[in-house]
Structure 1
Amino acid sequence: MDYDDPYESLPSTSTTTTHMLAGSAAGVLEHSVMYPVDCVKTRMQSLVPDPKADYRSVVDAFNTIIRHEGLLRTMKGAPIVVLGAGPAHAFYFACYEYLKKTLSGGQKGNHIAHGVAGSVATLLHDSVMVPVDVVKQRMQVFNSPYTSCRSCAKAILKQEGIFAFYRSYTTQLTMNIPFQSVHFMTYEFMQDILNHDRNYSPVTHMVSGAAAGAVAASVTMPLDVCKTLLNTQESCTRTHASYVNGMISAFRTVYEFQGLTGFYRGLTARVIFQMPATAISWSVYEGFKYIITKKQAVEDTLPKTLSIRAASASSHPD
C-alpha cells in the first residue's frame, strides 16, 4: 500500500508528534476504563487469594471484592498506571508506525514487518511499564499492606532494591514480544479484510482491535501468570529462596502449586480485559490520528487558499 492518504502518512513535520499524542491518549483511556477488570485478573492469578473469595468466574471475583472490600478497592493502584501509560504508549505507537512504514516499504499485507515493528516497540513500552506493573500488582493483591503507590514504591526500593522493579522484565518481554507480534499482525490482517483501503472507520478499528487482543491474550496466558507471580512475590511461595527469580523459577512454582491448570487461571478475565482494552486503544489512537491529521491538512492548505484568493482579487480589481 502506498502511503499517499494523509490519514496513513502524516506530514513530515508532525508524524512523530501526532503518533505520540494519539498513542498517549489511547494508553491512558484504555488503562483507566479497564483497570477494575485488570484488578480482578490479578486476583484470579494469585496463587493464594482471599481464603473467603469465590473466584470461579470473573463476575464472582468482582462481586467478592466489592462485597468484602468495597468498589474503590478495584481501583487501588490506578494512579501509577495512568501516569505510566501515557509516555509508554506514546513511545510504543510512534516506534511502531515508524518501523511499520520503514520495514514494509509502504506495501500492504506485509504482516511480518508489522510483527517485527510491534516487537521492537515493545522494548520501549516495557521499559516504562514493567516498574509500573510491579507497583500496580502489589497494590491489587488481597490484603495488600500498601496505602498508596508512592509508599509501595518506596518500600520495594528500600527492602528489595531497584532490581525488584525489573525482576519480571525478561519474562514480560518473553510474553509481550510474541503478544505484540500476534497483536499487530492480527490487527493488520483484520484491517486487510474489513478495511482494505485503510480509511478511517471506527467500527472496523474496534472490531480488529478486539480480535487482536483476544488472540494475543490467549496465546501468551501462561507467561502472564508467571509475570504476576514475579511481580507480587507472594510470600507463601518462597519456601526455598528469598524471592522467586526468573521465568524458569516462576514456571516451576506455579506448576507446584496448581499444576497445568494454574497457567490458565484468569484466562477469561484476561480476554475480557484485552478485547475492549485493545478495541479502545486502537479506536482512540486512530481517532486522534485522524483528527490531528485532518487539522494539519487544513492548516497546510489554508495559506495556499488565501494566496489563490489574493491573486484572483489582484487580477480582477474593482
Structure 2
Amino acid sequence: MSDEEYDYESLGSNTTMTQNAFAGALAGIAEHCAMYPVDSIKTRMQVIGSTATKAVQQQPVTLRNLWKGVNSVVLGAGPAHALHFATYEYCKEYFGANASGHHFVSSAGAGACATLAHDALMNPFDVVKQRMQLRDSVYKSIRECAHSVYTKEGLAAFYISLPTTLVMSVPFQSIQFATYEFFRKVLNRDGPQYDPKTHVIAGGLAGAVASSLTTPMDVVKTLLQTRGSSQDAQIRNVKGFREATGIIMSRYGIRGFFRGFKPRVLTHMPSAAISWSVYEYIKWVINTRNITQQKEKDFVSL
C-alpha cells in the first residue's frame, strides 16, 4: 500500500474514534488552560450588577485569583472536547467536507453537530467555572461550588443557560470550523499535509471571526450562568434568554451586548490557534504511526 493512500486530512476515517477523541481532549485542555486568566477577566467584565463589596472591589487582582475554577475546565474540557472532535471528524467525513475544494456548508454542519455533543456535556462545568471566576467568589474548590449551586438552586441551575449556550455555540463553532477549513486550504495550497504555521494562522483567524460575531450571545449566557451569585433580585430571578436580553438592553442598550468584547476576542484568537495546532499535531503523529504500522504489516505479508 502506497503512502498516497493515506490522506492526512481524512484522519477521521483512517483512525479509531478513540484516537480522534484523544487528540481532541489534549487540544481542548491546552486551549482552555492557556488563556484562562484572560477568560476570567472577560467573565468579570460581562457580569451585570456585581455583588462585590467595596472592600472586595478594592482588592488587587492577582494572577492566582484569575486561575480560580480552572480545575472545572480541565475536568470538563477533556471529555467534552474528546467528544467534540470525534464527532466533528465523523460528521466531516460523512458530509463530504474532506473532499477537495471549499465546502462551507459541510464543514459548518459538522461543526454544529460537534457543538451539540460538546455543550450538553460541558455546560455544568462551565457554570461552576464562571461562578468561581467572579471577583467576589467565596468558593475554594469546584466540589464546594457545585454543591452550593445544587443545594441553593437545584439541578436546573446547571442547564438554564444551555439553550442560550447552544444558540451562541452552534453558530460560533459553525463559523469557526468553516472559517478554519477555508483559511487552512487557502494558506496551504500544496494539499492536505501537516503545516504548523498554517494551522496557527488559520486557527487564530477562525477564533477571532467567530468570537467577534457571537459576543452578544456570550454576554447573555454569562448573565444566566452567574445569576445565582447576584444580589440584584431581577437578575437572580431571571428565567431565560428573553428576560436576560431585556435586562441587558434596558440597562445598557446595544453596547451592553458587547461587554467583554476585547478580552473575549483576545481569549479565542490564541486559544483557537493553540487548539487547532495541538489537534493537527496529534493527528499528524497518529497518522505517521499508522502509516509506519501499515508498512510493517505489508512488508510481513510479502
TM-score by length of 2: 0.91
| Alignment correspondent of 2:197 | 203
| Alignment correspondent of 2:143 | 150
| Alignment correspondent of 1:311 | none
- 1:195 deviates by 1.6
- 1:16 deviates by 1.5
Contact 1:35-1:78 at 8 Å conserved across structures: yes
Contact 2:11-2:89 at 8 Å conserved across structures: no
Contact 2:9-2:98 at 8 Å conserved across structures: no
**Does structure 1 residue 249 correspond to structure 2 residue 243?**
yes
Pairwise mapping of residues 175-194 of structure 1 onto structure 2 (< 5 A)? Answer: 175-194=168-187
Pairwise mapping of residues 42-191 of structure 1 onto structure 2 (< 5 A)? Answer: 42-49=43-50, 68-104=60-96, 106-108=98-100, 109-191=102-184
* Residue 103 to residue 175, structure 1, CA distance change in 2 (3 Å): same
| Alignment correspondent of 2:261 | 267
* Rounded Cα–Cα distance in structure 2 between residues aligned with 1:87 and 1:160: 25
SS at 2:107 equivalent:
helix
How many residues get paired? Answer: 294
* Rounded Cα–Cα distance in structure 1 between residues aligned with 2:231 and 2:106: 43
| Alignment correspondent of 2:278 | 284
- 1:128 deviates by 1.4
Contact 1:191-1:198 at 8 Å conserved across structures: no
TM-score by length of 1: 0.87
Q: Over residues 59-80 of structure 1, what are the superposed CA-to-partner deviations in whole Å (9 max), with x where a residue is unaligned?
A: xxxxx99x71422101000001
* Rounded Cα–Cα distance in structure 2 between residues aligned with 1:26 and 1:173: 21
* Residue 30 to residue 11, structure 1, CA distance change in 2 (3 Å): closer
* Rounded Cα–Cα distance in structure 1 between residues aligned with 2:255 and 2:12: 50
Q: Over residues 205-257 of structure 1, what are the superposed CA-to-partner deviations in whole Å (9 max), with x where a residue is unaligned?
A: 01001011100001111000000000000524433x75212111111111222
SS at 1:68 equivalent:
coil
* Rounded Cα–Cα distance in structure 2 between residues aligned with 1:105 and 1:136: 34
Runs of 4 or more, structure 1, over 6 Å off, are: none
* Rounded Cα–Cα distance in structure 2 between residues aligned with 1:167 and 1:115: 26
* Rounded Cα–Cα distance in structure 2 between residues aligned with 1:192 and 1:4: 20
* Rounded Cα–Cα distance in structure 1 between residues aligned with 2:272 and 2:164: 21
Amino acid at match of 1:85: A
Q: Over residues 89-115 of structure 1, what are the superposed CA-to-partner deviations in whole Å (9 max), with x where a residue is unaligned?
A: 111111111111111264231110110
* Rounded Cα–Cα distance in structure 2 between residues aligned with 1:141 and 1:33: 19
Amino acid at match of 1:201: D
Please list every run of 5 or more consecutive structure 2 residues that lacks an aligned counterpart in the other structure. Answer: none
Amino acid at match of 1:120: C
* Rounded Cα–Cα distance in structure 1 between residues aligned with 2:117 and 2:294: 32
Q: Which has the larger radius of gyration?
A: 1
Q: How well do the aligned residues superpose, as a CA RMSD in angstroms?
A: 2.1
- 1:9 deviates by 2.5
